[in-house]
Amino acid sequence: MARKLHFNIFRYNPQDPHSVPRTDSFDLEETESMTLFIALTRLREEKDSSLQFDFCCRAGICGACAMMINGRPGLACHTLTKDLPNEITLMPLPIFKLIGDLSVDTGTWFRAMYEKVESWVHTDKEFHSMADEERMDNALAEEIYELERCIECGCCIAACGTANMREDFVGAVAMNRLARFIMDPRDERTEKEYFEVIGTDEGIFGCMGLLGCEDVCPKHLPLQDQLGILRRKMGWSAVKELFRFGK
Amino acid sequence: METIFTDVLCIGAGLAGERVAIEAASAGFDSICLSIVPARRSHSSAAQGGMQAALGHCAMGEGDGPDIHFVDTVKGSDWGADQEVVRLFVDRAPEAVREMAFWGIPWNRVVPGPSTYFKGGKEYEKVEATEKEGFITARDFGGTAKWRTCYTSDGTGHTLLYTMDNKVVELGVTVHDRVEAIALIHDGETCTGAVARCLKTGKLKVYLAKATVIATGGYGRIYRETTNAVINDGGGAIIALDTEVVPLGNPEAIQFHPTGIVPTNILVTEGCRGDGGTLLDVNENRFMPEYEPEKEELASRDVVSRWMTHHIRQGLGVKSPYGDHLWLDIRHLGEHHIKTKLREVEEICNNFLGVDPITQLIPVRPAQHYTMAGVRTNKDGSVYGLKGLFSAGEAACWDMHGLNRLGGNSLAETIVAGKIVGEKIVEFLQGYEVQYNTGAIRDGVIRQQERIDDFISGKNGNENVYEIRNAMQDELMERVGIFRNGRDLQKAVDNLQEIYARAQKVGLRSNGIGVNPELTLALKIQGMVKLALCTAYGALQRTESRGCHAREDYEARNDRDWWNRTLATWKEGDDLPTLNYEPATETVELPPAERGYGVCKIISCDGEIIGEE
């Protein structure tokens, strides 16, 4: 017999002066292969058409649907209800500004992050349309792609002890992004320039090493390794700087 | 009323919209992109397999060039494409791929020496040239003579979009995310921007621009079973059609992709078959070689989808609670290949199906995937009917795809068309000034506010918007699918007209305050049913079979009577589009002939009947 699922969902519409933050409950009969995408869509279409949440690709590719699922950040689209208990509590991601109910503003946060770490290839070269591309070793291309797979869902930020305490912390997503550019020979920034971006308490030295980021990353990115590598690199960079001043 | 002025307004911040904005910004013009989601969540990010460009670096692509890419694309389109546009596209695709490499794409590269590959389940050897080491490599895709599809594993759209958006940030292009354009501002001759609804607050605002670009992608969500993201519901096409003067090109041209997974319709890339994956039936027999001895699993998508449907109709599908399906088999490609070249496929299968594709078969069947249909433009991307309005990418009917798009040509189109249309907009803007009519702007905003108020008050009725959408989707799935016939299409048109009448009577059940999702859909539902009617009615009138448009009652491709493009406009108050036709192509570099795959039955331009009875 199909289970009856009991949903507790955070509700608040900041645009409605009569709305107060609260939890609404809904019951729904579970169906085969049900995901939270299917469940939430049904709740909106059958029970409460004002319910706000975000889905886009519904295939685990775009990162739109991160939310707190029974207390843990995750992508709703690829969460199967059969992996959850009968009682399912859904809350919006913390840290990001609430738009309404389960929907948060990740766009503004991430744009600020791109600007902060200057998330693009820095080069003095010019593009020549008729020339062959610069060569790259395929193994290196694959390594870069590994870090490029981040979908900016915000789970690592929501799960981060430091980010929950200080607003200016860039989080694992930004460090992973910078690690991707450090690895890329097309980016001509020097170690010192990277250090200026990330060698502070807002960056690599703010991390408390709790590694909630790696635990919840839905793409299973090697965030812990990147943090370690960056710390060592930036540590060395700092020592070298000191040494230079000492002279 | 918040009013924002800019030179270029790109509605849509996927690959095409952002590429246009980059071109305009690089030339010194103010550019704003609107996006209904954060830019990087645009559906471009979901494109997996790769983008076609005739670089010819890899061994199996040796000797490739734009001329061969041209022939493949025109054949793929079943001669529905504008050949001048195809030429423009193929000539500039290699440059576009290299430019994206320059901006940071980690394209997979040529690894020199011998390596094995699979074709039709059999293993072969190839040797990559030492002098090509480290250049951008390519994989095989359907309907191509050479390996031409450049890729980053199976996350090509993702890396392209992230790199493109990085460039957007570098150049300081403004992106207003969670903003939806709900009407164009125009006077019947010139477009000067859009009325938009903020999806963070629900408030209306006005964007005034010298050049406005529709780059909102496809509208697969008018179908129930689609690979498309939930955001692909036709916003851009709807506001264009609402102008009464802008036509949709070939609205009947809807692509079904052979490998949507069952039951969720999530795409697994054509790269699976390109890399040697096979399709199996209930008896685990390969069936494509029997139908397509030459191309096998790698015929064009329209052809493979038809044979799959045909094979299921023969009773050879696999029964499931979600209807019959077939199997995709990539087990023989091996763990290493799947874990490096087909990573998203591996994740999708494990997460959504509980299937490990390294050891198990993947349940698949064709699902709606792409709209070749779109806002009709000329070769510069300038939209028919309104000065100052442009379109690029899947939203546009530019028209390089005709009645069927080749895999890998859509990502390529976004980048190449984005660049070309961007250049043309820069030319257009030189010395171009426009006068904003404040009265018309105010009236436009008032009209939109009234629509919202009427939905909330229930002034026009209390029809349920979700029921109407479901009825529309069912109608298209049932009667305007892979195989079509006059009787079903007529029924679809009749039923959709009734649904359209109901769509005018929608009232909200919720209060409609703020970013109310029911209101968001209500604002679009009439437009979506209009798109559905354009699709069904265009298909009913086209009494031939060409590309994706397969009429069981008119099986031949009829070059004598139907070598043309449908242009659908919509007059206010009507419940059907007005259809006109134009020649498919003015320039003929490659005269109509056999495609070399699929059923060959042609009525030639001279009326000669070619092919099977």
pLDDT at A247 over 50: no
Do you find a cis peptide bond into B94, omega within 30 degrees of 0?
no
Task: Over range B41-54, report the average pLDDT.
Answer: 96
Angle of helix A171-183 relative to helix A138-148, nearest 10 degrees, comes to: 170
- Whole-number pLDDT of residue B440: 87
Determine what percent of chain B is predicted with pLDDT higher than 70: 100
Active-site amino acid positions of B: 257, 273
Write the residue in B102, B153, B352 that is nearest to A127 by C-beta.
Answer: B102
B34 sits in which H/E element:
strand B31-35
Q: How confident is the model at residue A234 (pLDDT cuts 50, 70, 90)?
A: confident
Residues 6+ apart with CB under 8 A from B274: B49, B139, B140, B141, B142, B149, B298, B407
Q: Which residue of A has its CA nearest to B101?
A: A133
Residues 6+ apart with CB under 8 A from B121: B276, B278, B286, B329, B332
Nearest by Cα to B292 from B601, B611, B598, B610? B598
Reported as a single tens digit per residue, the pLDDT across B339-387 is 999 999 999 999 999 999 999 999 999 999 999 999 999 999 999 999 9
Reported as a single tens digit per residue, the pLDDT across B437-466 is 999 899 999 999 999 999 999 999 999 999
Handedness of CA A75, A77, A79, A85 (dihedral sign): positive
Task: Over range B497-524, report the average pLDDT.
Answer: 98
Q: Scan residues 101-130 of B and list those with Cβ closer than 8 Å to A.
A: 101-104, 106-111
pLDDT at B493 over 90: yes
Determine what percent of chain B is predicted with pLDDT higher than 90: 98
**For the residues of chain A, what is the DSSP string, one character each?**
-PPEEEEEEEE--TT-TT---EEEEEEEE--TT-BHHHHHHHIIIII-TT-----SSSSSSS-TTEEEETTEEEESTT-BGGGS-SEEEEE--SSSEEEETTEEEHHHHHHHHHHHHT-S---S----TTSPPPP--HHHHHHHHHHHT----SHHHHT-HHHHH-TT--HHHHHHHHHHHHH-TT----HHHHHHHHSSTTTGGG--S--HHHHH-TT---HHHHHHHHHHHHHHHHHHHHHHHH-
Reported as a single tens digit per residue, the pLDDT across B205-264 is 999 999 999 999 999 999 999 999 999 999 999 999 999 999 999 999 999 999 999 999
Q: Scan residues 480-539 of B and list those with Cβ closer than 8 Å to A.
A: 508-511, 513-518
Reported as a single tens digit per residue, the pLDDT across B81-119 is 999 999 999 999 999 999 999 999 999 999 999 999 999
B285 touches chain A (CB under 8 A): no
Task: Over range B300-315, report the average pLDDT.
Answer: 96
Reported as a single tens digit per residue, the pLDDT across B573-584 is 999 999 999 999
Reported as a single tens digit per residue, the pLDDT across A133-178 is 999 999 999 999 999 999 999 999 999 999 999 999 999 999 999 9
Cβ of B352 within 8 Å of Cβ of A59? The answer is yes
Reported as a single tens digit per residue, the pLDDT across B104-163 is 999 999 999 999 999 988 999 999 999 999 999 999 999 999 999 999 999 999 999 999
Q: Which residue of B has its CA nearest to A183?
A: B106
Q: How confident is the model at residue B613 (pLDDT cuts 50, 70, 90)?
A: low
Q: Chain B partners of A54 at a C-beta cutoff of 8 Å?
A: 37
Q: What is the residue-averaged pLDDT of chain B?
A: 97
pLDDT at A246 over 90: no
Would you say B534 and B476 are in contact if contact means Cβ atoms under 8 Å apart? Answer: no
Question: CB contacts < 8 Å between A and B, how many?
Answer: 194
Cβ of B515 within 8 Å of Cβ of A33? The answer is no
Q: Chain B partners of A60 at a C-beta cutoff of 8 Å?
A: 347-348, 351-352
Would you say B320 and B363 are in contact if contact means Cβ atoms under 8 Å apart? Answer: yes
* Burial degree of A6 (CB within 10 A; 0-12, 13-18, 19+): middle
Write the residue in B135, B169, B201 that is nearest to A111 by C-beta.
Answer: B169
B73 sits in which H/E element:
helix B66-76
Q: How confident is the model at residue A235 (pLDDT cuts 50, 70, 90)?
A: confident
- Whole-number pLDDT of residue A245: 59
Write the residue in B136, B321, B344 that is nearest to A61 by C-beta.
Answer: B344
Q: Which residue of B has its CA nearest to A80?
A: B352
Reported as a single tens digit per residue, the pLDDT across A53-102 is 999 999 999 999 999 999 999 999 999 999 999 999 999 999 999 999 99
